[in-house]
Every structure is written in C-alpha cells, then in structure tokens.
Amino acid sequence: MRHTLREAWSGLRRNLTMTLAVIITMWVSLTLFGGGLLGAQQVELLKGRWYDKIEISVFLCVPESKGANCEPGQNATDAQRQAIRAALETNPEVATVYYESKAEVWEDFQRVYQNSPVLADMTADMMQDNFRVKLKNPEQYEGVVSAVAGLPGVQAVQDLRQYLNPLFEWLNVAKWTTIGLSLLLLLAAALQIATTIRMAAFSRRRELGIMRLVGASNWYIMLPFLLESLVAALIGALLACASLAALQKFLIIDRAQPSLKSVEWIGWPQVGLAMLGVIAVGVVLSVVPTLIATRKYLRV
C-alpha cells in the first residue's frame, strides 16, 4: 500500500505539467457537461410547470368569424353549444370544462390591458365565447383537439402548446449543443489521460518488466497508475462541482430568481444531481483510459 501511494504521488509530481493539463481539461469539460445537465433539468422544470397550466381553448362561432364549421353571420346555436360541451365532458382525457362567455372574456381583457392603448380599439363584440378545457395528461392533447375541432359551431381550437413547443425545441437544441460540446471536450480529456498514463508507464517500463518477471500481480502493477489518473480526474471534477455551485449561487439565486420571480428555477437538489453526474463521468473517464493505456504493460 505504501509503495502504491508513493508511486502514484511520484507519478503525479513527475508529470506535473501533464497532470495540470488533465486537471484543467477535466475541469472545463465537466463544468460544461454539468451545465448541460443543469440546463436540461431547468427545461424539464419549466415544461412541467407550463404544460400543467396549459388549457385547450375551444372558440365558438360569432357573427364576424369565418370558419368551415360556422354559419356565416350567425352565433353558434345553443344546441351546438350543448353538443360541444357533451363531446368534451364525455372525452376520457378531459379533466374539467369551463365555459367562458363573451362578457367574461371582455372583462378579463379589460383588466389585463387596462394601461394599454390596444384597449381603445377593442369592443366587447370582438370577443368570442369559448370552452376552456383542462386535460388529465397535458401531453395527450391531440385526441381532444380532433374530437371537437370538426363539430359545427366550433370556429377554432387553440392549444397553447403550439406556441410553447418551438421555444422548448430551441431550448432542447441549446441543451444538446452544450452536452455535445462537452462530450467532445471529455473525449479530449480521456485521450489526454491515456497519453499521460502511457508516458508514465513507458518511463517506468524497466521496473514494470521486472515486476512482471518476478510475479507482481497485475493489480499491484496497475494501482499506482489508476490512482494517479483518479486523483487528477477527481480534482478536476471537484473544481467543476465548485464552478457549478458558483453558477447556481451567483447566476440563478442572486440574479435570475429576483428578476424573474414567476419562473420556477432549479435549486440545490438539481445542482447536487448534476454534481453526482459530473463526478461519476470524471471517474469513468479516468479509469477506462488508464486500463486501456496500461494494458500493453500488463499483458502476460
């Protein structure tokens, strides 16, 4: 054991510049990777939050509206309203149905836009009666939309998801770009570790040859190298964890949260999860290249 620790330590010191290079590469790439993990969790959080609030709005025909299911110049009839309500309430995916009359919409509108010049150009007649539908599972909206979209008296069915989906798609692209870039950097870090260990093993090839000759076990021969790369990788991983913590503290808690209070932000549990991922990847990325790099010197 003493031998193992001593050899690992002397290996780290002998290749100080390479060790520093490994630590820095690991640090940067794992920070980026952890950032990707945080971003992914933030997106999931927003998605869950917003999608839960999403309702489907079924707009009914008014005299001004044009649509395949509308009689020109006519309101939707009471019979049509009854049929639409029945279709919605019997649908198994629907949780609640709420009818909002033209007058109610107008009140709402006036309240929301009370300081806006838009209000002056609008009248109560421009509003539309509609059903607001809440779904049991917000992901399963297509069935409900198609069930009522074709009914007479329905002018349009609007799903807020249409507007949110492009946003989430862009967030997804950003997430995968970050993770993809970090994977490239992590690959570079792994190759760097393999090179460092190969050099260390090469410089000690005489000793390794004798060790094999006199019957030292593979484990005994390999352990110092494993420890050497593990120490470098773990230092890099811890620095990355510190960077993620700083990101959470200074960017999200101090800046983002006070300025965007309506949005739910990731907290320390999510950061902890990302840190675990970072450490696990750091360990794998040091152990695997070391095993591969020392294989040549262990082959019996």
- Interaction site with other proteins (CB under 8 A): 3, 206-207, 209-218, 220-221, 300
Residue 104: exposure state from Cβ atoms within 10 A (0-12, 13-18, ≥19): middle
Q: Shortest approach of other proteins to residue 271 CB, angstroms?
A: 42
Q: Shortest approach of other proteins to residue 180 CB, angstroms?
A: 39
Nearer to other proteins, 133 or 221 (CB): 221
Nearer to other proteins, 3 or 136 (CB): 3
Rounded CA gap, 172 and 39, in Å?
9
Helix (H, G, I), strand (E, B) or coil at 261: coil
Nearer to other proteins, 38 or 221 (CB): 221
Backbone angles phi, psi at 63, to 5 degrees: -55, -35
Chain Cα centroid distance, residue 201: 40
Nearer to other proteins, 5 or 124 (CB): 5
Nearer to other proteins, 6 or 255 (CB): 6
Of 190, 184, 274, nearest to 232 by C-alpha is 190
Nearer to other proteins, 177 or 217 (CB): 217
Q: Shortest approach of other proteins to residue 298 CB, angstroms?
A: 9
Q: Shortest approach of other proteins to residue 34 CB, angstroms?
A: 38
Q: Shortest approach of other proteins to residue 213 CB, angstroms?
A: 6
Q: Shortest approach of other proteins to residue 292 CB, angstroms?
A: 17
- If one counts every other C-beta atom within 10 angstroms of the C-beta of residue 295, the result is 12
Please enumerate in sequence order all residues whose Cβ is within 8 A of that of 278, keeping only pairs 6 or more positions apart, or say none: 30, 31, 33, 34, 37, 237, 240, 241, 244
Please enumerate in sequence order all residues whose Cβ is within 8 A of that of 244, keeping only pairs 6 or more positions apart, or say none: 31, 34, 35, 38, 271, 274, 275, 278
